[in-house]
Amino acid sequence: MISTLIGMGGSLLAPKILSQLRDQKINILHAMPGRLRIQCDNWKSEEVASHLQHKINHLPIVATCKASSITGSILIEFILPYMSEQELDELMKFIVQEASEAILEIDAKITRTMQKSLTIIDKGIKRQSSGLADLDSLLVLFLLGKGIHSFHTAPAFSGSLLYWAYTIIRGKEQNGPYDK
């Protein structure tokens, strides 16, 4: 692999570049004059991959860039077959920065999974009750019942439950939490 990096003009790669790649867990899969394939598990998202492809394609030293969300890899073809150490360093810094920004913009996988699960549960409740109830209405009923039942023993806690039920009802009037 080192010999192919030499062809790119990266024979004098500074240790800081390689350590930066290691910190981000970016792997150089393939490098030859005019081409570079890098991979990172953090790029296995359609949003991140398309963001990186779009941003990298607009760089002046890049002829084409193709990103795969399935493998988390990026294939970059450069205009010139050789590049300097500084250009490679700037390119890698740019990719790391753009990937970090793209990752911050997407919802966490756990959040998306929970949202999908809540939507499935909500639809199931609506289906089983013929539209009489949904997840929010059952939660409100539970909160109201628990709040009223425990009001004499724990008024502060009951007040928070009643307020929570109220905010769910008010939020449902304005825009449902699962409507997108």
Domain range summary for the chain, segments of one domain joined by +: 2-105, 109-174
Separation CA 13–CA 57 (nearest Å): 23
**Residue 33 in tokens:** 């004059």
pTM given for the model:
0.55
Fold of 2-105: Aspartate Aminotransferase, domain 1 (3.90.1150)
Question: Which whole number is the average pLDDT over 119-140?
Answer: 93
Separation CA 98–CA 65 (nearest Å): 14
pLDDT tens per residue, range 32-83: 999 999 999 989 989 899 999 999 999 999 999 999 999 999 999 999 888 8
